[in-house]
Amino acid sequence: MKILIPLLLITFGFLTRFIFIWQPAEVVFDEVHYGKFANAYLKGEYFFSGHPPLGIQLIALGGWIGGYRPHFKFEKIGEKFSDFSYIVLRFMPALAGSLIPLAVYLLLISLGISRRVAFFAGVFTVLDNALISHSHFILIDSFLILFGILGLFFFFSARAKNYNLPPLLLASLFFSLSFSVKWAGLSFIALAGLVAFFDLVKEFIKKKFRFAIKKFIKFFFCLVILPIMIYMVVFYVHFKLLPKSGPGDIFMTQEFLKGEKGFIEKFIELNKKSYESNIKYLTARHTYASKFFTWPFMLRPILYWISKSARIYFIGNPIIWWLSTLAIFLSIGFLLIGRLWRERGVIMLVAGYFLNLLPYISIKRVLFLYHYLSALIFAIMILAVLINRKKHASKIFFGLVIIALLSFLYFAPFSYGLELTPQQIENHLWLKTWE
| Per-residue pLDDT tens digits for 382-424 | 999 999 988 899 999 999 999 999 999 999 999 999 999 999 9
Q: What was the pLDDT predicted at 282?
A: 56
Mean pLDDT of 213-237: 96
- CA distance readout (Å), 9 to 72, 106, 115, 120, 353: 34, 11, 12, 10, 23
Task: Tell me: pLDDT of 284 over 70.
Answer: no
pLDDT band at 42 (very low <50, low <70, confident <90, very high): very high
Confidence of residue 207 (pLDDT cuts 50, 70, 90): confident
pLDDT band per the 50, 70, 90 thresholds, residue 281: low
What band does 373 get if pLDDT is binned at 50, 70 and 90?
A: very high
Q: Considering the entire predicted model, what is its pTM? A: 0.96
Whether pLDDT at 27 is above 60: yes
What's the rounded mean pLDDT across residues 280-284? 64
**Residue 207 region by backbone torsions, left for phi larger than 0, else alpha for psi between -120 and 50, else beta:** left
In 3D, which of 58, 48, 70 has the Cα closest to residue 99? Answer: 58
Instruction: Give 45's contacts (C-beta < 8 A, 6+ positions apart).
Output: 242, 244, 245, 246, 247
Distances (CA, A) of 399 to 197, 209, 394, 395, 412: 40, 51, 8, 6, 20
For residue 362, what pLDDT is reported? 86
Percent of the chain with pLDDT over 70: 99
What residue ranges do the domains of the chain occupy? Answer: 4-30+95-227+294-434
Of the candidates 144, 152, 71, 111, the residue with the CA atom closest to the CA atom of residue 343: 111
pLDDT at residue number 327: 97
Q: Can you give the pLDDT at residue 208? A: 80
Q: What is the pLDDT of residue 364?
A: 80
Other C-beta atoms closer than 10 Å to the C-beta of 325 total: 17
CA–CA separation, 65 and 57 (whole Å): 12
Closest by alpha carbon to 335, among 349, 318, 321, 319? 349
* pLDDT tens sequence across 121-180: 999 999 999 999 999 999 999 999 999 999 999 999 999 999 999 999 999 999 999 999
Predicted pLDDT at 93:
98
pLDDT at 283 over 70: no
Q: What is the mean pLDDT of residues 205-227?
A: 90
Rounded mean pLDDT, 174-202: 96
Q: Sign of torsion, CA 391 393 395 399?
A: positive
Mean pLDDT of 187-203: 94
Condensed to tens digits (0 to 9), the pLDDT of residues 75-94 reads 999 999 999 999 999 999 99
Q: Which residues contact 29 (CB under 8 A, 6 or more apart)?
A: 77, 137, 139, 302, 304, 305, 312, 314
Greatest pairwise CA separation for the chain in angstroms:
70
Going from the C-alpha of 106 to that of each of 12, 152, 156, 353, the distances in angstroms are: 16, 10, 10, 17
CB distance 123 to 170 below 8 Å = no
- Give the pLDDT band of residue 350 (cuts 50, 70, 90): very high
Cβ–Cβ < 8 Å for 77, 311: no
In angstroms, the CA 12 to CA 426 distance is 29
Task: Report residue 311: phi and psi, to 5°.
Answer: -145, 155
How confident is the model at residue 279, as a pLDDT?
75
Distance CA 185, CA 316 (A): 21
Residue 434 CB neighbour total at 10 angstroms: 15
Q: Torsion over CA of 28, 33, 39 and 44, rounded to 10 degrees?
A: -170
